[in-house]
Each structure stands twice: as C-alpha cells, then as structure tokens.
Structure 1
Amino acid sequence: MGRLNQKVALITGGAGGIGLATAKLFQAEGAKIVVTDKNAEAGKAALNALEAGAMFLSHDVTSPDAWKSVFEQTIEQFGRIDILVNNAGLLKTAPTQTLMTTDLAHWRAVNSVNVEGVFLGCQTAVRHMKEKGGVIVNIASVAANQSTPNLISYGASKAAVAHLTKSVASHCLYQGYPIRCNSVHPNPIKTAMGDELMSQMGGGDPVAGWREFEKVKGYGGAGEPDDVARSILFLSSDEARHTNGAELMVDGGMAIRVS
C-alpha cells in the first residue's frame, strides 16, 4: 500500500481491460485516478468498479484539442498530473491485416490511435510535467519486437510506440526535465482486444482461439490484465526512479520464442 500516495494518474483506454486493472491497482496504492475512454458509456460504468473520487472523461486520443481538455479538467480537479499511462489502443478495423489486404484507410485508423494518440499524449504531458516532473508509461506490445505479417498495421504501430518512448525519454534527459518515459510490452492478454485477436486465430470463435494459443510451445500462455498492471505500477512508482527509456516485456517469454 502507498506506493503512489497522493499521486495523480491519468489512464487512457481506462474503461476496461488493462486500463481498468491499472486504475484499480493505482487506487489501492494511494493514487487519485482519472480514466479516459472514447466509449463514454463504458467509461461511466467503469467508475462503479473504482473507489469514490475517481473521475471519468470522454476522450478521443487522436484529437489535440481533446488532450488539452482532459489535462485541463484533470488539473482543475486535482491540481496536477504526475503519471500518464498511454493505454488506449486499436487492434484492427477490418477482418484481415496482411500486407496485401490492408488498405490505407485501415493503416491510418490503427496508426492514428496507436501512434498519433501516444505522441499527442507524450507531447501534452511533457508540456505540463517539465517543471515539477512526472512519469509516462506507454503500452506497446510484444508485436513491437517480432514480425507480424497477419497484423501488419498493429505491429508497425507498436514498434513506433517503442521507438517514440525512447525518443521522449532522451528528449527529457537532454532538456533537463525530470520526466521518465518507459514502455510495457504484453503478449495477448485476456481482455476484449485479446478476444478479438483470438477470434481471428479461432476462425471466429475466441474460446477456440485461446485454446489454440495455449497449445503453442514457447508462447508462455495468455496473461491477465493484472500482470500488466503490476508492471505499469512499478514503472510509475519511485521504485523505478532509475529506469528510463526501457522496454519492459510482460509476455511470458513470447518475444524470445525459438521457432
């Protein structure tokens, strides 16, 4: 208890999955929580799973104006922002995502959320944190560290997040800003997005997809949202004060799988 006492954390994509698990864990460790999500109905419902005092804000992470607004509202409510978790993400907008089946609209939709949304979040956070300091945690994926021929837009977007994270960390170091920026790289996690991915693997049946995934030697099995949330907590806490620009793999060893 108390690893984030009196810290103010803003978590995007916080209506469910990894984002909501992180919000719950942060609250248990003493943080004041703002969860944002494009799905306002789900976001408001998520507040029922959190302790009193949490705030929900509707948020399109691809909009610079929306980023400005959520920061302003959070600061108005809590006085500052100490931690930003860029968790909002998009897997796909079409049934397949290979090189030859991905059109430009699909590519742009995925990268708009997964890359531009993270860029805007980092940029906004640094503007607000550069004097007093803070922490940014970007949620990437094991897909950033492997080829993803069947998820070409998603894999490329998460590789960009990993690179962007290092550049943000380096920028802040050279500018003398007391801001750390790290990325977390999960394997498929048992969330709505995980089910969406496994539906593809299972021929439309996510249960069958998870069953096939668990059979593959070297994948390390599926992770739970709390597995990722605990890693985000570590990077957000003072325990990670000397960790900056790092890629934290939370993938059951999937990235080191020998094919």
Structure 2
Amino acid sequence: MNDILKVKNLCKTYIVNKRQLHVLKNVNLKVKEGEFIAVMGPSGSGKSTLLYNVSGMDKMTAGNVIFDGHQLENLSEKDLSNLRLKKMGFVFQQTNLLKNLGIIDNIILSAYMAKDRKRKDVNKQAIELMKRTGIIELVDNDITQASGGQLQRATICRALINNPKIIFGDEPTGALNSKSANEIMEIFKDINDEGTTIMIVTHDVKVASKTERVLYMIDGKIEGEYNLGKFNKNMDDSKNRESKLSQWLLAMGW
C-alpha cells in the first residue's frame, strides 16, 4: 500500500511567557493507506499537537508533512482549508455540533460547503450514514434531543459525508461510557475495513487495542510503536490484544 501521510522532522514550538516550549521535536512518521493507528502517551507528550499539525489544523514550526501528495507547508490557507474539507474527516472528544442546526443539518453542512455534489445526493448519503450508524430515528431532532453516544455517531456521519481519505480523532471516545465507546470503535472498524485510513489519539488501552498500530509519545517524540495487526471483531481476541498492549505500554513507562 502507498503512504497517505509522510511526516519528516516535524517540529512545533510555542512561545509561552517569552520562553520557547518545544512540543514536537523532529517527529518522523509514515501512515499507509487503510491503516488504523492510535497515538498514546502521557499528558503533555504532544499527542494532540501531532494530530493538529499533520492534519493542517495547526501550523508547524519546521519540517515536512505530505498528505495524499500535497505538501501542507506549501499550501495557502485557502487550499489547506479546501484539502481538509474534502479529504479529511474529524471527530473530537466534544462533538462541536452547531446548536442552531438540527442533527442532519450538522451532518450535511460540510458537503454543502464543498459545493461539488447535488444537494439531493448529499441528503441521500446523510440518511444512509445515519442508518448505518444507528441514529436514523434522530433525523428530525436537534442536538438537545440526543445522548452523548448518539451525538458522537452524528459527528462520525459528519466526518464521512465528504468521503474523506482519512479520519483524525482526538479522544473520540473520551466523553463516553464503555458501552458507547465500544460501539463507536465498532463503527470506526467498519469504516476502516472499507479502506478509510484512521488516526486517533487516545488514553484508553481498550480503545487502542482495537487499532492496528500504536505509537507511543514521550516529550514530543515518538519513542516506540507496537504492531497489533488487524482487529477481527468476529473473533474474541479483545482481551488478549488488550493484555499484550498493556504489557508493552508498561515497558515503555506508561
């Protein structure tokens, strides 16, 4: 498979109280098309900053990020926004849904903004996504009429509406109970099985154990990676994967 994401010597430095804070330090990373990757590490290790920089949501201080053939640091803000809109999907811990829009309107908004499909086709896809994620009964609801798990499913629908090549998730199950978190991971697994690349930040070993490869960050650097292989949800190997990952994380200093 080809690399969809290539990161070389990525650095991110913030100025805090006139002092330099080096959050990312010469990070190197490759992600293949169709991979499902988790990024783990202690608080302050740079996990979320890495996600924001490789997706173009934040501007890197130095280094190179190539996504799907596009060198992010060379793109204008307009072209970068257009790339994120059409080729990337995002799922965060907080759903960030617009309160003045209904659930389905939140889902279709970015597709309307892309302006490359007919509205009837967008609406049809939104209905299909809501059926697939089990929230079709909310089609006429606003966001105050749904549970946290249902809203996160709506966020996944929103992330998928433009048929992205990659989905970035920053603690996508962090605000959910274990049952809802497991359901969200099953949806992610199905999406990944169909070819969409997924890269998530998580602190949850159970969540990370359902991914294919785990990167471990310490002090702004990737200090190790653990290859779990593809997760088969039809085989009851969850506990084994979780146990192996936990042992590796302990060895890494988790």
TM range (shorter): 0.3 to 0.5
Higher strand share: 2
Give the TM-score, by structure 2 length: 0.34
Higher helix share: 1
Higher relative contact order (CA 8 A, sep 6+): 2
